[in-house]
Amino acid sequence: MRLFVALEIPSAVRENLGSLLASVRAITKEPRWVRVENLHVTLKFLGEVAEEKIAAIRSALSDVRSREPVQLRFCDLGFFPNEKHPRVLWAGIEASPNLKTVAGDIEGAMEKLGIPRDQREFSPHLTLARFERAHLPEALRKTIAENAQREFGSLRTNEFRLIQSKLRPSGAEYTALTSFCFAPRVE
């Protein structure tokens, strides 16, 4: 099973990003655009995992705790690694400091189960598109620059999910397997 751990995003944020994606998709079909229903904040990509490890993963994830829910503000647009050589178009996230701690605790719990630690530092973002070749059409660059400081909404949550990803010719299909409450209830 191909798995990852993520935060779901609110429908209002999804709708705001969806309107942006609709306008930029009209400019170019060159990058592989992420479907709006698949947008999420990845905390840890687990990769291919044997089914017999699922119970241990669920148990380890249920032990992750924070004293407070995480708070996120979705804003800004940019490229990894940069505009000159784009591989990913992203929407940025400003997060409370405990998001990094929660992600680190998930990373440590999974490492104990033999799932390798991610080599890159945790950088919360929403992937909007992936570029097959590092080429940025001028019209797309201009539209992204015009929307670079755009606000998309916010989220306060106390839960993350273990999600299965099935790769299909039409794109990835996600199924939430389990939700985990890691902090006191959100009021």
Catalytic residues: 40, 125
Task: Map residue 78 onto helix, strand or coil.
Answer: strand
CA distance 2 to 130: 19
Q: CB 49: neighbour CB atoms within 10 A?
A: 20
Helix, strand and coil content of the chain, in percent to the nearest 5, comes to 30, 40, 35
- Quote the strand ranges of the chain, DSSP E: 2-8, 32-33, 40-48, 70-80, 88-95, 125-130, 151-157, 159-168, 171-181
